[in-house]
Amino acid sequence: MLERLNQAMEQIEAHLDERIDVADLARTAVTSEYHFRRLFSALAGMPLSEYIRRRRLTVAGAEVLDGERTLLEVAVRYGYSSGEAFARAFRGMHGVGPGEARRGGATLRSQPRMSFRLIVEGNSSMRYKVIEKDAFRVVGRKARVPLVHEGVNPDIATFIRGLGRETLQRIESLSDGSGQEPEGVVSVSDKLDASRAEGTELDYWHGVVSGADSEVPDDMDALAVPAGSWAVFESAGAFPQTLQNMWRDVFTQWFPSNPYQSRPGPEILRTRLSDDGTHADAELWIPVERTAAG
């Protein structure tokens, strides 16, 4: 898997001055475009689109300093429709405009080429299972919130506080006797931006898992989820770091080592907090499918 990812990285380098088709990169990596974007973001710590943009501006910066091409020629070569658009992007990364950089021999910033390698530490194991689940519903309340990679998401915290105790208790009661897993109240993330960039928006659900034909109260929202395979991961530790690290480890460790890839669908998190709110026992459900090679 990592060898194929590195071949895709070489493909990016060979086409920085051309249109880069992410579907082609995914085919090189022998995975879906959806999974390729998510895997890259987890491994690289930035969205694929941001890495490509920064690599282009790095190479463009060298050409600006070189002086062989006009600034407009450099702009067009690296995909900018006008000198103004190029100047804005250039200044955003390098801190100076291209004209100023060429005149003054400015110091520019560089985005290094990335390659991936697997580091085997052998000091921890990941508890997981893969199950087939029939179609179901998530029933509760939802809000559109920005994505936050580290720490508590303040918009989610505000949303849950705003529901009020009575509504929270009613949501919790909807799981009683349903026989559905995961049991109890869950946090569900759906309709995430493909880039997974900090600040992009997603649908956040505070609800319970119920049957596909279950009754939905008039004042509740419902998310229909089709049947499919799910990888279920368990973890315990400090809150909220354990939850965020678990998602990272799934994509940087588990997926590269197993014959599965993520598929479109909601991500479901069931969390049980200690009385003081500092420790969490968590269960993360990720929709998956077997890879062609698996």
**Which residues are CB-contacts of 250 (< 8 A; sequence separation ≥ 6)?**
42, 126, 231, 233, 284, 286
Q: How far is residue 270 from each of residues 14, 190, 214, 232, measured CA to CA in Å?
A: 43, 15, 20, 11
Instruction: Walk me through the domains of the chain, giving residue ranges and CATH numbers.
Output: 2-104 (1.10.10.60), 127-290 (3.20.80.10)
CA–CA dist 54, 111 (Å, integer): 6
Of 45, 53, 19, 48, nearest to 34 (Cα)? 48
User: Which pLDDT score is estimated for 192?
Assistant: 87
User: Which pLDDT score is estimated for 232?
Assistant: 93
Of 154, 137, 150, 145, nearest to 212 (Cα)? 137
Q: How far is residue 114 from each of residues 43, 48, 202, 248, measured CA to CA in Å?
A: 10, 11, 28, 18
One-letter identity of residue 236 = A
Averages of pLDDT over each 10 residues, the chain, 294 residues: 86 94 93 88 85 94 90 95 94 93 83 73 62 94 89 89 94 79 93 82 95 91 95 86 79 80 93 87 92 65
**Which residues are CB-contacts of 183 (< 8 A; sequence separation ≥ 6)?**
175, 209, 270
Beta bridge partners of 230: 131, 287
CA–CA dist 253, 232 (Å, integer): 15
